[in-house]
Amino acid sequence: MSKIVQPDPGAQPVPNYLRPCVSLDVHKGSITATRMEPGGQVQRTWTLPTTRSDVLTLAGGIPVAVPVVLEASTAGKAVAQVLKEQGLELHMAAPNKIPKPAVKTDKRDSIRLGHLYQSGSMSECYVPPPEIEHLRLLTRNRKDLAYKVTLVKNQVHALVTRNLLDSEMKGVSDWFGVGGMRKLARLPLPPEERSHLARYLEQLELLAQQEESMQVELAQIAKGRKDVQFLMTIPGVGFYSAIGIIAEIGDIHRFPDKEHLASYAGLVSRSDNSGEKVSEGRPVKKGNMQLKSFLCTSVKGMVKSGQPTKVTRFYRKKAETKPVPKATVAAANKLAGEVWKILTFERPYEEEDEDLTERKEKRMQTIAEESAPAVSSEDLAALADRVSGKAEVLHRLQEEAGEDDTEVADAG
């Protein structure tokens, strides 16, 4: 393993153009690497497989003083993590900020990354540690379940409507509660529609089981984190939202103030000023959509809790003159400032309701005490065998989805 060298805090930083670098164009199957000397001179370019052993060999040939540059992607992040474990200096480029070339090859992409770094014009991404990457994967997978549940529920509503049976469900506030399920099961549906409804309900059952399993894992992580417990002092923020916010933020100290955090979350308006022209009422800029979603959901939870906080008062005032979505985003901006203060100074929310916080913590502890089903190698192998028996079906469905994409492209 390469020795990690701590930088001298008193040393003057060396300009990028005076530093050599190794730039990597990373794909699932291969990596194109370029060793670049100071001033942009290409020393050599070579290709290697994207495997852990090959990446470790690559790391062994790079001095710790030479920065490594690569583009953010799933494979890129995995390679970056291996290199980071070896003590190398990593710089990850934001994909949407890299100029699009007229001619694109892996070699040119690799060289372009090195030139962008040395010229100081590369927009860099945050490289989260493995712990934060795990939290992001967990919370994003949990959020994906919510999208799938919504899709299936919409299909159930459509099934009832196409059979002109909405009147049978009149007065049922929750179609998917105990009473609603009993009514759905007794609807006078033709046999083929009953089969559709059965498939939808089977999907909902599976999604609910997966969510319950993930809840246990999230609660067990949350109970051991002080930052999660601090965020849970905010009315409307449970352990799942707290973990989601922390996962998307990463290191709070990379944001010098609350305005930078709000901008990162995409909660501030775009700026388009030139000369005497000043933009007003511009759409909100695009930022970290996951963090924005968690903050907006927390605002809704805070309003629903009925707690008279500064954020809820601000939301209600905005909602008097603006649509609910805009009022929610505006309040989320204000909540982002509270989150920044809580995490930066490691203290509870100023307007904490201690009784509410205690109830949330008890619920978290109760869920955390449940045993999350551990997946053994044997369990995984058995599941893989069962799925392999459906390989032809899955392949056919995937091909059909690809044909749909082609048809859409042709129509465009």
- pLDDT of 317: 94
What lies within 8 Å, CB to CB, of 21 at 6+ separation is 36, 66, 67, 68, 69, 114, 117, 118
In a shared domain, residues 99 and 135: no
Residues 302, 315: Cα–Cα separation, whole Å: 10
Question: Range of 170's domain?
Answer: 130-222
- Is 407 among the domain residues? no
Tell me if 407 sits within 8 A of 256, measured CB to CB. Answer: no
Domain boundary among 125, 147, 175: 125
- pLDDT of 1: 38
Residues 231, 215: Cα–Cα separation, whole Å: 18
- Is 52 among the domain residues? yes
Tell me if 301 sits within 8 A of 223, measured CB to CB. Answer: no
In a shared domain, residues 354 and 246: yes
Positions of the chain with pLDDT lower than 50, given as ranges: 1-7, 407-412
This prediction's pTM: 0.82
- Is 194 among the domain residues? yes
Domain boundary among 125, 141, 175: 125
Condensed to tens digits (0 to 9), the pLDDT of residues 159-184 reads 999 999 999 999 898 999 999 999 99
In a shared domain, residues 114 and 212: no
Tell me if 339 sits within 8 A of 295, measured CB to CB. Answer: yes
- pLDDT of 277: 58
- pLDDT of 27: 95
- Is 11 among the domain residues? no
Q: What's the CATH number where 113 sits?
A: 3.30.420.140
Q: How many domains does the chain have?
A: 3
- Is 323 among the domain residues? yes
In a shared domain, residues 116 and 22: yes
In a shared domain, residues 87 and 218: no
- Is 151 among the domain residues? yes
In a shared domain, residues 121 and 154: no
- pLDDT of 285: 67
- Is 403 among the domain residues? no
Condensed to tens digits (0 to 9), the pLDDT of residues 226-249 reads 999 999 999 999 999 999 999 999
- pLDDT of 6: 45
